[in-house]
Amino acid sequence: MTTIPFVTLNNGVRMPQLGLGVWQVSGPDVVGAIHAALNAGYRLIDTAAAYGNEESVGEAIRTSGKQREEIFVTTKLWNSDQGYDNTLRAFEASLKRLGLNYVDLYLIHWPVPKLDKYVETWEALEDIYASGRAKAIGVSNFNIEHLDNLLLRAKVVPAVNQVELHPRLQQRELREYCTDKQIQIESWSPIGGNGDKLGVLNDDTIVDIADKHHKTPAQIILRWHIQNGLVAIPKSVHADRIRENAAIFDFELDNDDIAKISALNVSERRGPDPVTMDFR
């Protein structure tokens, strides 16, 4: 079992630096993947209302043999539920589906600037946080302009900003901004996403570094996230891949490796653009 390190969020909450994402995973596959991950040493599970699998995540936690306090659970508010009252109702519904009394991290899934409700929504998250039913609150897919606008009225600085981030989309300006504001960056699609549409895993540079360290390309990329102080949540339903993704704490990338991976950035997304993502 791998021992995964923690990062400390701006409110003192400790968050595992590597977790399991369960987007596009359902039913028994969710339960099996989470059990495999927990057995491999993972303690962070990332879901969302929009994933339609909160019930299965809750079942996996209850049947895992692990104490609830050992597991860091993240879920997210969907776009159509934004607004103060809607957010409170949606949060209660997520807790009910999960079968939990609290979550460790609750995020606004997208800013949806056309809807223009994320500041009002954040006020509801602040009240949820004050109640203790979310140990930390944050945002997802927020650009600098969205964070600037939010922070003008926020009483609580977001603890986390979960964004698409991988060697093809390194988000350096956003990372610097969040570091300055003490907002932890969490990487979704950390190795390039389903099917590796951006060709990250097959990039010659990544393959060469993997050969050098006798590791897989995915392990090299995940190690890059870790050494950059990021939290990463790769998705898999395969127990062997889940274990492989966690086997990244017995080596380090050197400065030359880091420089070569840094040169791969082309600011290319595989997911939606936060500026244009609509509210449906």
Q: How many domains does the chain have?
A: 1
277 band by pLDDT with thresholds 50, 70 and 90: confident
pLDDT in tens, 14-53: 999 999 999 989 889 999 999 999 999 999 999 999 999 9
pLDDT at residue 1, as a whole number: 77
With respect to residue 268, please indicate whether it lies within any of the assigned structural domains: no
**pLDDT above 70: residue 7:** yes
With respect to residue 273, please indicate whether it lies within any of the assigned structural domains: no
Task: Given the residues 51, 106, 118, 129, select the one marked as catalytic.
Answer: 51
pLDDT in tens, 158-208: 999 999 999 999 999 999 999 999 999 999 999 986 556 668 899 999 999
With respect to residue 278, please indicate whether it lies within any of the assigned structural domains: no
- Is 102 noted as a catalytic residue in this protein? no
**pLDDT above 60: residue 220:** yes
pLDDT in tens, 75-97: 999 999 999 999 999 999 999 99
DSSP state of 187: E
List the CATH number of the domain containing 31.
Answer: 3.20.20.100
pLDDT at residue 196, as a whole number: 60
At residue 193, what are phi and psi to the nearest 5 degrees?
90, 180
With respect to residue 267, please indicate whether it lies within any of the assigned structural domains: no
Percentage with pLDDT > 90 across the chain: 92
With respect to residue 105, please indicate whether it lies within any of the assigned structural domains: yes
Q: Residue 60 in 3-state DSSP? A: helix
Domain that holds residue 230: 15-262
Tokens linked to 161: 């900003």
With respect to residue 240, please indicate whether it lies within any of the assigned structural domains: yes
With respect to residue 128, please indicate whether it lies within any of the assigned structural domains: yes
C-alpha 163/C-alpha 177 separation (Å) is 13
Q: Region 108-128: what's the mean pLDDT?
A: 97
Average pLDDT score over the chain: 96
pTM here?
0.96
Q: Region 251-270: what's the mean pLDDT?
A: 96
280 band by pLDDT with thresholds 50, 70 and 90: low
C-alpha 55/C-alpha 248 separation (Å) is 30
C-alpha 21/C-alpha 131 separation (Å) is 26
With respect to residue 161, please indicate whether it lies within any of the assigned structural domains: yes
pLDDT in tens, 122-154: 999 999 999 999 999 999 999 999 999 999 999
- 8 A C-beta contact, residue 110 and residue 76: no
